[in-house]
C-alpha cells in the first residue's frame, strides 16, 4: 500500500510552500504522534486556531532514540498519513533528528506550538534559542486529561495480561 497524501512533504517542499505569500500565520508543532488519540487531535485543533498548521513529525529512528527500542509502534509513513488526513492540518513533513533545530531555521514558522505539559523553560534549550533568533511566537495549548500515548500503551499491555 502506498502511504501518500497531498499534504505530505519533504522539508524543502514544505519550505517552498511556506514562503509563498499568505494571509494566515504559519504555525508549526512537532511530535511523535505514535498512537494517534483524542488528546493529539484536540491539541492539534487548538494549535490550528492560530493559523495554517504544519506538523514536523519525528521519524522512526528519532523516536527510537527518544523513547527506546520498542517504539515507535506505528511507522512514520502511516503516522504522517493519518496526521495529514486531519482537516485542521495543512501539511506534514518528517524529520530525522532528535531535535528540531535545523527544521526551525529552514521552515521559519511564525508561531511554534507545544502542549501545556511544556513551558518556555522546559523546551529544549537549543530549540528555544532558534525560536528566539527567528522571532517565532511560542504558544502552549491545552491537552485532554488522561490522554497520552504512554497511558494508552499501558492500558493495552494491562489488557493483554488478563
CATH classification of the domain holding 21:
3.40.50.620
Q: Is the pTM higher than 0.85?
A: yes
Residue 93 is given by DSSP the state: E
Q: What is the pLDDT of residues 36-60, one digit of tens each?
A: 888 999 999 999 999 999 999 999 9
Parent domain of 77? 8-161
Residue 2 in any domain: the answer is no
- The per-residue pLDDT for 4 is 65
Rounded average pLDDT over 118-145? 93
Residue 38 lies in a domain: yes
DSSP 35: S
Q: Mean pLDDT across the chain, nearest whole number?
A: 91
Domain count, the chain: 1
What DSSP element (H or E) covers 159? helix 149-161
Among 72, 60, 45, 49, residue whose Cα is nearest residue 149: 72
25 lies in some domain = yes
Cβ neighbours of 139 (radius 10 Å)? 16
CB 23 within 8 A of CB 52: no
Query: Does the residue 128 lie in any domain?
Result: yes
CB atoms within 10 A of CB 20: 6
Is the pLDDT score of 157 beyond 90? Answer: no
Domain-located, residue 1: no
Amino acid at each position: 500500500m502506498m502511504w501518500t497524501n497531498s499534504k505530505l512533504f519533504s522539508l524543502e517542499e514544505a519550505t517552498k510552500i511556506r514562503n509563498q505569500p499568505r494571509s494566515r500565520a504559519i504555525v508549526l508543532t512537532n511530535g511523535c504522534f505514535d498512537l494517534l488519540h483524542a488528546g493529539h487531535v484536540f491539541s492539534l485543533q487548538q494549535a490550528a486556531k492560530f493559523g495554517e498548521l504544519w506538523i514536523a513529525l519525528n521519524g522512526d529512528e528519532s523516536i527510537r532514540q527518544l523513547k527506546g527500542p520498542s517504539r515507535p509502534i506505528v511507522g512514520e509513513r502511516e503516522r504522517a498519513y493519518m496526521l495529514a488526513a486531519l482537516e485542521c492540518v495543512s501539511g506534514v513533513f518528517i524529520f530525522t533528528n532528535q531535535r528540531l533545530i535545523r527544521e526551525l531555521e529552514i521552515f521559519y514558522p511564525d508561531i511554534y506550538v507545544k502542549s501545556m505539559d511544556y513551558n518556555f523553560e522546559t523546551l529544549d534549550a537549543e530549540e528555544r534559542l532558534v525560536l528566539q533568533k527567528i522571532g517565532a511566537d511560542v504558544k502552549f495549548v491545552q491537552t485532554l486529561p488522561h490522554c497520552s500515548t504512554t497511558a494508552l500503551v499501558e492500558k493495552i499491555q494491562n489488557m493483554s495480561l488478563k
